[in-house]
Amino acid sequence: MNTFGNIYRLTTFGESHGAGIGGIIDGMPAGIDVDMDFIQSELNRRRPGQSRLTTARKEEDSVEILSGVFEGRTTGCPIGFLVRNANQHSSDYDNMRDLFRPSHADYTYTVKYGMRDHRGGGRSSARETISRVVGGAFAQLVLRRLGITVRAYTSQVGDIALPGTYRDYDLSLTEKSPVRCPDPETAQRMTDLIMQVKGDGDTIGGVVSCVVQGCPAGLGEPSFGKLHAALGSAMLSINAAKGFEYGMGFSGMHLRGSQQNDIFVPVAANGTDCDRHRGDSGRITTLTNNSGGVQGGISNGQDIYFRVAFKPVATVLMEQPTVTTDGTPTILAARGRHDACVLPRAVPVVEAMAAMTVLDYYLLDRATRI
Amino acid sequence: MNTFGNIYRLTTFGESHGAGIGGIIDGMPAGIDVDMDFIQSELNRRRPGQSRLTTARKEEDSVEILSGVFEGRTTGCPIGFLVRNANQHSSDYDNMRDLFRPSHADYTYTVKYGMRDHRGGGRSSARETISRVVGGAFAQLVLRRLGITVRAYTSQVGDIALPGTYRDYDLSLTEKSPVRCPDPETAQRMTDLIMQVKGDGDTIGGVVSCVVQGCPAGLGEPSFGKLHAALGSAMLSINAAKGFEYGMGFSGMHLRGSQQNDIFVPVAANGTDCDRHRGDSGRITTLTNNSGGVQGGISNGQDIYFRVAFKPVATVLMEQPTVTTDGTPTILAARGRHDACVLPRAVPVVEAMAAMTVLDYYLLDRATRI
Amino acid sequence: MNTFGNIYRLTTFGESHGAGIGGIIDGMPAGIDVDMDFIQSELNRRRPGQSRLTTARKEEDSVEILSGVFEGRTTGCPIGFLVRNANQHSSDYDNMRDLFRPSHADYTYTVKYGMRDHRGGGRSSARETISRVVGGAFAQLVLRRLGITVRAYTSQVGDIALPGTYRDYDLSLTEKSPVRCPDPETAQRMTDLIMQVKGDGDTIGGVVSCVVQGCPAGLGEPSFGKLHAALGSAMLSINAAKGFEYGMGFSGMHLRGSQQNDIFVPVAANGTDCDRHRGDSGRITTLTNNSGGVQGGISNGQDIYFRVAFKPVATVLMEQPTVTTDGTPTILAARGRHDACVLPRAVPVVEAMAAMTVLDYYLLDRATRI
Amino acid sequence: MNTFGNIYRLTTFGESHGAGIGGIIDGMPAGIDVDMDFIQSELNRRRPGQSRLTTARKEEDSVEILSGVFEGRTTGCPIGFLVRNANQHSSDYDNMRDLFRPSHADYTYTVKYGMRDHRGGGRSSARETISRVVGGAFAQLVLRRLGITVRAYTSQVGDIALPGTYRDYDLSLTEKSPVRCPDPETAQRMTDLIMQVKGDGDTIGGVVSCVVQGCPAGLGEPSFGKLHAALGSAMLSINAAKGFEYGMGFSGMHLRGSQQNDIFVPVAANGTDCDRHRGDSGRITTLTNNSGGVQGGISNGQDIYFRVAFKPVATVLMEQPTVTTDGTPTILAARGRHDACVLPRAVPVVEAMAAMTVLDYYLLDRATRI
């Protein structure tokens, strides 16, 4: 199942140390101007080696569009794309061939497929997210036109968490810090923590928060295609993701229903929210947005916000006991250049998956509006 | 999108106050003995009116199997089933026709479809979960044969949380308490809290925890079909679900990679874990299970465990401000019999969704093992 | 795979001699008036016992709508429906339990599933087409509003074939003859042939032709979702179908390209065809329609026409040699009431499958038109 | 919908005069030896310029495997592949930019997408079948291991038809003739006809016949996933296909049921057919195979045979009237190198689609055999 989506569909391929990473976007609306600079810049945000926080590997990750674009616009035909792998040090991984790295996919791939490409994690490598970022960037080209924005940021690293919500920060500052946290002071503390952990040869996890704004009401397909379920599946499919919550999420259990319900009110004549709504029901909004912009699985025109938990990177630069593929105890000593914290580079991936999900559900919703 | 699954597929229909709730199970293996008592007993666990904790509505919810079973065994053909609605007091909802209940799906359904069945929430009612429980019960019939068990329980209500994990309790006690918490003392405190909230006409949320045991290694389909992403989507599609985490989940960010990694070790000659594994890689297990039984999106033979957050029921028996469908402010005074806490009745639904997901991925995994 | 379609999706269940036949329609647009008389009348056209041509079995085949319709209109939620089986003479089939009827699905179901419901063919019975007719009738309710008509008729029985095309006959006469052939003289000859074959205890096949008119240009999804490929799959999934061709079909090989190409011409100012076209390309039509209304897999606004071959019914009222389920030679002597020719009753089924396919592709096409 | 299949899934991209043609194969079983010579040789069979019968364009069509293969074996991960376009004379098509070629997809693509890549047909070009051939070649690698063979041949060109069935010819001779007809004398007559048509600047259609042998009983998924419906959809999705029939097909209407039924008989002790069957039902075969190897939508272990009609290539080297994109009458004078008859090059494409379909259904059937 290397295909994501229903109408806007991304199918991907590629391993860490194979020829390249790529994919096919199907269901792209025709006639959309293709802003190649934007697409490449999204890839650059995901690229390793952007700052001292992330792995020092230099990867150019330059994307080639193979089809589906003609004279600068999408044709409605599938968009094939390819990012060649470069700077491959496959021999770095020779010592991985015959052992299972703890908390990686080495063991499970071997059991499932009877074999694996041991170089850099093969298909299970986070390099796979390159395809997601390209798919998301094309989706963003459409969302822009629809007035829908998707913005993610690092809201927690280890025990350092942003105290507020997306409304409390200037999200345009997110890209100013290498850790992609919009609050400069917190960003600095997160950076310090990551550098300390990195110095220990260890790794650390955290949380990415994301908000989708300008999304019209009516997106989501009950009962198994609830919008938040689709977002959850999309986020949980990202490497190292361990949890997803939207709206009040896990903290909602501390409030009673009467406290948590979002009260409907008429939108004032000069309100701007009403533009997001459709149909006869028109000019209605809610006083609060504890629901996270989704009610009964369908967007209600409010901001859609959610959080994704990421575990620490499994590769630590310390000796770890493990076993060989035939079950003999051994010691793993990882080498090479690895992220001490995946969060900064996860931010554009979260945005990409959110963009594809929202566009897919936008198109699905259109289908039956005759 | 009223279909769930890839190979084992459940398609559902039905509204709260229509003729009935039902569905079609496709992809059911042939030749499985159909234990109708078990299927009905699962429905009974979901049924309202089981205890003073849940709504006093009496619903028989008796399931009729319409096809796909012949002489007591499944035929491999689709299983149609129907649970007739009874005890319908549609007039209870007359005052709902022209207003939007806060934090229900009333508004979003109206915007999406241009109309709605206002009686009891219509399609968005939690009565829809009847079909899930039937689908899950049939899945359990197969999982039993495969030695896979799925057990959920209430681990938190409001601020009252079980301190331990599934390993710390005797899960056979879950059904002994009306709140479906396996720790008698905590169960009593949860019960007291729910009764207090109920007395206030209010509602409260919580967490259901679930563990899947005996699942073979190798289930899960990277990269978009990771097993935990499928479980997440399944859980988030349940009414009132707001969050999903597996393994260390959101708490994993507090630990470093070196602390969280699950170290591989050989299974002792008399170990029992090895039965769950397959192929050459054979007799390997992990010292800890912070991964939650899934690595790289594929089961590793360890216990799969996860948690699902549920918000408080949106219907409170207090006056709430809201608006009519044409946007005029009004006051909603809900009547009738409603759950003060959905958790106890969510437990069998979580189990059902987990059972269907695991079976579906078991069958998917088989497909390409030639 | 008991689900048909992408956006407009029909999932079905039911066996010949089980509790009933039914299904779930998902993706039905909301707000459509439900003309129950029309839906039942379509079922009546499929029903056995309409004339001396078809089996004398009396089946009421009354459909109950279980969900998805509220106050006479569709709600956008899934439409569950059920047609109870009645008049079951299961004991008629006792002698079938342990043998395989020639050219039926008895053997293949047994091999595939390890068992079968031997009563009246079980799931493989043509009673399964009841669900298709209901799904098609709902689709017709939408197509009506879109100005798209679907009309099928019997164009060949045995060696008796209509010499002309759909343009040469008054298709409103189709329902006047029991054989559903719009040419009265040919219809009479077909009827005589069927009665003669029936008198011999034998059966005979034929061809159903179908034309879809008023379909806008632009429907069809290259490359694997070509409109004619979807129609072909839909038709070939009907019991006893053996072939499908559209446009010039198998006879096109006799003409050269220069003879067969459909020349584009401007539509005269008073032309009516142009209404079917969209977008800038506007007022263009073709001199001929050898393409059958589909070019490159996409409708071009012309009439879509195709033919479906049906084999003779496998049940003949003569003794036939066969084997028992354990491979011992035996003699089968079929009893009961059976169609000597399936063609008349296949006509509404062909229409139903065509209606669902065209609607599904109409909705798919809408999805990406932003 | 540029994805084909359920478990074994091919997703494709690419236009005639873009960067290249390629695809992603998902669901490939792991551990299969990848015979690159075979894969390239299959592409060579499809390649233009093989003989004077086909277009004189020289296309190398060399395939690069980008992922999913490690140390010569499949890994179970998606196989990305790319065939770069070369020898592009885009300027050949400058005169096509502003007009619609008769019976091509120019008009329908323009209406559907609001634009088109006019160079060589863009996405609608038969170069798209390159991806199908690669997908089919990988499928063949698995079918080989399963003992299943797929062989197609040209059985009719214009009015010249092979009188017999696949049983009457030595199919190993198919590749000996440029027209891919296994009967040398008929092949010569077909060749002569094609050369004559080519000399006239015209084109001609025909029929490809195909037989699948060694396929086990039990493949096919009623009711909408009947094996022959899947084959029909697969074949009809090939460029220029106009019809599909299997078993007796359209000619079956001339025979009565008693004549056409396939009588079951026990397999003699030394029979070889029994190997194809499974389970308890065991050693049974049929005297005739009018059913074409599929009964009730499920394979019965007999040879599966079918025929596909192809229309004449739409590009003729004669002047044809047409209209410009704004509807003004004009004259089209095609230039360049084009096939006068697509049949010889369609043979490997038919085989590829059949191979993918049969493998996909083999894997689907496995899924629910627990």
Give me the domains of chain C, ranges plus CATH numbers: 3-247+291-367 (3.60.150.10)
Facing A368 at nearest CB: one of C27, C145, C369 = C27
How large is the angle between the packed helices B343-367 and D343-367, nearest 10 degrees? Answer: 130
Residue D115 binned pLDDT confidence (cut-offs 50, 70, 90): confident
pLDDT at D245 > cutoff 80: yes
Amino acid at B116: R
Average pLDDT score over chain C:
92
- Band of pLDDT at residue B59, cut at 50, 70 and 90: low
Please give the Cα distance from A65 to C63 (Å, whole number). Answer: 52
Which residues of chain C does A280 touch, with a Cβ-Cβ cutoff of 8 Å? none
Nearest CB to D367; choose among B77, B146, B367: B367
Mean pLDDT computed over every residue of chain D: 92
Give the pLDDT of residue C344: 96
Contacts of C364 in chain A (CB under 8 A): 7, 367
For residue B271, the model assigns a pLDDT of 45
* Facing D67 at nearest CB: one of A18, A67, A109: A18
Check whether C362 has a pLDDT greater than 60: yes
What pLDDT band is residue B282 in, cutting at 50, 70 and 90? low
- CA distance to partner chain A, nearest, from residue C349 (Å): 24
In a mutagenesis test of the A interface, which of D12, D13, D85, D106 is the best target, namely the one with the most A β-carbons within 10 Å? Answer: D13
What tens digit of pLDDT does each residue of B14-26 get? Answer: 999 999 999 999 9
Digit-coded pLDDT (tens) for A201-228: 999 999 999 999 999 999 999 999 999 9
What is the average pLDDT across A123-133?
95
pTM of the shown model? 0.96
Which residue bears the tokens 């019939």? Answer: B141
Please count the residue pairs, one from chain C and one from chain D, whose beta carbons lie less than 8 angstroms apart: 378
B364, closest residue in chain D (CA to CA) = D367
pLDDT (tens digit per residue) in A129-185: 999 999 999 999 999 999 999 999 999 999 999 999 999 999 999 999 999 999 999
**Does the CB of C146 have a partner CB in chain A at under 8 Å?**
yes
Yes or no: say if C105 and C43 are a contact pair by the CB < 8 Å rule. Answer: no
Q: What is the CA radius of gyration of chain B?
A: 21
pLDDT, tens only, D32-42 = 999 999 999 99
State the residue for tokens 């460029």: D239
The predicted model gives B94-99 an average pLDDT of 84
> Hey, is the C-beta of D31 within 8 angstroms of any chain C C-beta?
no
Per-residue confidence (pLDDT) for residue A121, from 0 to 100: 86
D7 touches chain A (CB under 8 A): no
Place of tokens 């996909």: D360
**In this structure, how many other beta carbons lie within 10 angstroms of the beta carbon of residue A98?**
12
C115 confidence band (pLDDT: 50, 70, 90): confident
Name the residue in chain D with its Cα closest to that of C230.
D233
**Window A:321-340, CB contacts with B under 8 Å:** 321-323, 325, 327-329
Q: How far is CA C54 from CA B348, D9, D256, in A?
A: 49, 42, 16
Query: Residue B189: exposed, middle, or buried by beta-carbon count in 10 A (0-12, 13-18, 19+)?
Result: middle
Q: C248-300 pLDDT, tens per residue?
A: 999 988 899 999 999 999 986 444 443 344 444 457 899 999 999 999 999 99
| Residue A119 confidence class, pLDDT cut points 50, 70, 90 | confident
Asked if the C-beta of B146 comes within 8 angstroms of chain D's C-beta atoms, the answer is yes
| Cβ–Cβ below 8 Å for C284 and D323 | yes
For the beta carbon of residue A52, count every other beta carbon within 10 angstroms.
12
The tokens of A20 are what?
């390249």
Q: Which residues of chain B make contact with D222, given a CB cutoff of 8 A?
A: 77
Residue of D nearest to B367 (CA): D367
Q: Do D67 and A113 touch (CB under 8 A)?
A: no
Q: Is any Cβ of chain D less than 8 angstroms from the Cβ of C269?
A: no
Tokens of D278: 């499974």
- The subunits that touch chain B, with at least 3 C-beta pairs less than 8 Å apart, are A, C, D
Min distance C227 CA to chain B CA atoms (Å): 23
Name the residue among A2, A14, A31 with its Cβ closest to that of D26: A2
Average pLDDT over chain A, rounded to an integer: 92
User: pLDDT tens digits for B166-214?
Assistant: 999 999 999 999 999 999 999 999 999 999 999 999 999 999 999 999 9
How far is the alpha carbon of D78 from chain A, nearest alpha carbon, in Å?
A: 5
Distance from CA of C195 to the nearest CA of A (A): 46
ipTM of the complex: 0.95
Is A77 an 8 Å CB contact of chain C?
Answer: yes
Asked which of A232-241, A265-274, C183-192 is least confident by mean pLDDT, the reply is A265-274
Q: What are phi and psi of D206, to 5 degrees?
A: 175, -160
Of C326, C330, C272, C338, nearest in space to C301 by CA: C272
Q: What is the pLDDT of residue B312?
A: 96
Mean pLDDT of chain B: 92
| Predicted local distance difference test score (pLDDT) of residue C273 | 43
Helix, strand or coil, per DSSP, at residue C180: coil
Q: Measured between CB atoms, which of D29, D222, D368 is closest to B370? A: D29
Which of A114, A205, A249 is facing B279, going by the closest CB pair? A114
> In chain B, which residues have their Cβ closer than 8 Å to the Cβ of A310?
253
**A28 in reach of chain C (CB within 8 A):** yes
Contact criterion met (CB < 8 Å) for B368 and D29 = yes
Given an 8 Å threshold on Cβ–Cβ distance, is C363 in contact with A364?
no
Chain A residues whose beta carbon lies within 8 Å of the beta carbon of residue C370: 29, 142, 145-146, 362-363, 366
- Indicate if the pLDDT at residue A186 is higher than 70: yes
Residue D255: is it exposed, middle or buried by C-beta count within 10 angstroms (0-12/13-18/19+)? middle
**CB contact D290 to C (< 8 Å):** yes
pLDDT tens per residue across span C41-83: 999 999 887 777 766 566 689 999 999 999 999 999 999 999 9
Is residue C313 less than 8 Å (CB to CB) from chain D? Answer: yes
Q: Which of B230, B286, B323 sits opposite A265 (nearest CB)?
A: B323
> Which chain A residue's Cα is nearest to B313?
A257
Close Cβ partners of A41 (under 8 Å, ≥ 6 residues apart): none
Quote the longest CA-to-CA distance of chain A: 72
The predicted-structure confidence for A28-37, as pLDDT tens digits, reads as follows 999 999 999 9
Distance (Å, whole) CA A86 – CA A98? 24
pLDDT at A95: 78
Calculate the dihedral angle through the C-alpha atoms of D305, D311, D316, D320, rounding to the nearest 10 degrees.
180
Q: Residue range C319-341: average pLDDT?
A: 88
pLDDT at D274 over 50: no
- Indicate whether B354 pLDDT > 80: yes
Q: Which residues of D touch C190 (CB under 8 A)?
A: none
Q: A354 with A347: CB under 8 angstroms?
A: no
pLDDT score, position B273? 43
State the average pLDDT over residues A271-277: 42
For the cut 70, the answer to whether the pLDDT of residue D361 exceeds it is: yes
Return the partners of chain C (3 or more C-beta pairs < 8 Å).
A, B, D
Q: B301 to chain A: which residues are within 8 Å by CB?
A: 111
Q: Residue D22: which of A65, A80, A122 has the nearest Cβ?
A: A80
Give the 3-state secondary structure of residue C300. coil
Distance of residue A72 Cα from the nearest chain D Cα, in angstroms: 11
Residues from chain D contacting residue C112 (CB–CB below 8 Å): 217-218, 220, 298, 365
Q: Which chains touch D (3 or more CB pairs under 8 A)?
A: A, B, C
The closest of C48, C121, C22 to C345, measured between CA atoms, is C48
- For A47-51, A207-211, C103-107, which range has the lowest pLDDT when averaged over its residues? A47-51
D36 in contact with chain B, both atoms CB, cutoff 8 A: no
Measure the CA–CA gap between C206 and D223, rounded to whole angstroms.
Answer: 21
Task: Nearest by CB to B67, from C13, C73, C114: name it.
Answer: C13
Whether chain B has a CB inside 8 Å of the CB on D73: the answer is: no
Name the residue among A142, A222, A366 with its Cβ closest to that of C367.
Answer: A366
Of C24, C67, C122, the CB nearest to B24: C24
Statement: residue B274 has pLDDT above 60: no
Question: Are C29 and A368 inside 8 Å of each other by CB?
Answer: yes
Taking only the tens place, the pLDDT of each residue in D50-93 is 777 766 566 689 999 999 999 999 999 999 999 999 866 667 67
> How does residue B90 score in pLDDT terms, banded at 50, 70 and 90?
low
Of A282-291, A359-368, D310-319, the poorest mean pLDDT is in: A282-291
Please, which residues bridge with residue D11 across strands? D3, D24
Contact B370 D145 (CB under 8 A): yes
